[in-house]
Amino acid sequence: MGEYMNKLDRNFYELVNNIKNLSFDELFNKIKVNYKNIHPKTQESIASFLNTFKFWGTLNPSEEDYQALLNQSKVLHEHIDDIVWLYEKLCDYHSKTVLYAIVNNWINYDFKTLGSVMDNKYLNYFDLDLLSSFKDATLVDIGCYTGDTALDYINTYGENSYKKIYCYDITPESLEKAKNNLNKYKNIEFRAKAVLDKVNTVFLDEHEHSSSNRLNGSGTIELETTTIDEDIKDEVSIIKMDIEGSEYKALEGSKRHITLESPVLLISIYHGYDDIWKIPKLIYSYNKNYDFYMRYYGGPIFPTEITLIAKQKIKASK
């Protein structure tokens, strides 16, 4: 395969081989040295971000706390073959560039390549090169926040493109804003439920940034949990998820819809380093009739706002 690879493929597999040739300690030390070599203000910015949101581990160099970098090293050391699997499943050049840029950033703090793959051509999630139109769609918006994704969908595809929109959110204030922002549109249903892998009760863990509120085993605000398989009996056309690290469990609770109906999936895969491979592999285990794409809506410093787009394979015409 080597002589037929393009430049991106060569760069990606060279990076993979470099990772495989390092022990865990060597890989961790390489990442730590590279982090220390970037501008001190950028170091502070990355550490502040990681310590604020705590999805990826903490980073306090003055206290010799490098947990975030250890977690990063662990995923690369133990799951580089899973990342290669994803690279080889991605169906366009841009998606492969996104994945390469993310992995290269994790190791080398390459801000230039990450910045070059930032998507601003289309609204988040709705890449018209991949998803050109919808008709009579049923959209399930999990983590609807203030209704911004539903509004983007309507503005992109039109009011006649959907049959029903279900909006789920765990933050009461956000759900009220979503109702206000979408009140002139028909057939939108709002559900104050946490979407997971089973019906249960959990509590809201409030964050200083309300969009980052997540679930906990205890607290003052009690929430009903549900699954999409249990809660929605209609056939589903599109499932979008951005739910602060609960995406994997929510997908487990959507297995029936994914297996039988092959809805378009628009899934955030950045709330943990292992989400980037773990979530696509889960989807593939349910339904092998998907093509995978990646789009990047974050900034040039630390990779967030990474979206996996999975859509049903197009059947070859006879």
pLDDT grade, residue 75 (50/70/90)?
very high
Q: Average pLDDT over the chain, rounded to whole?
A: 93
pLDDT at residue 91 tops 60: yes
Please tell me what DSSP assigns to residue 63: G
Structure confidence by residue, pLDDT tens digits, 142-173:
999 999 999 999 999 999 999 999 999 998 89
* Strand ranges (E), 99-199: 137-142, 162-168, 188-191, 194-195
pLDDT of residue 208: 53
Could you state, in order of their start, the residue ranges of all structural domains in the chain?
2-116, 137-268
Burial class (CB in 10 A: 0-12, 13-18, 19+), 51: middle
pLDDT of 224 reads: 87
**CATH code, 137-268:** 3.40.50.150
Contacts of 2 (CB under 8 A, 6+ apart): 10
Tell me the average pLDDT across 300-313.
Answer: 97
DSSP 316: P
Quote the Cα angle for 132-133-137, to 5°.
140
| Average pLDDT, integer, range 120-145 | 96
* 307: enclosing H helix or E strand: strand 306-312
Span 193-244, pLDDT tens digits: 999 999 988 877 664 544 444 565 556 677 889 999 999 999 999 999 999 8
pTM of the model: 0.93
**Distance, CA of 246 to CA of 234 (rounded, Å):** 23
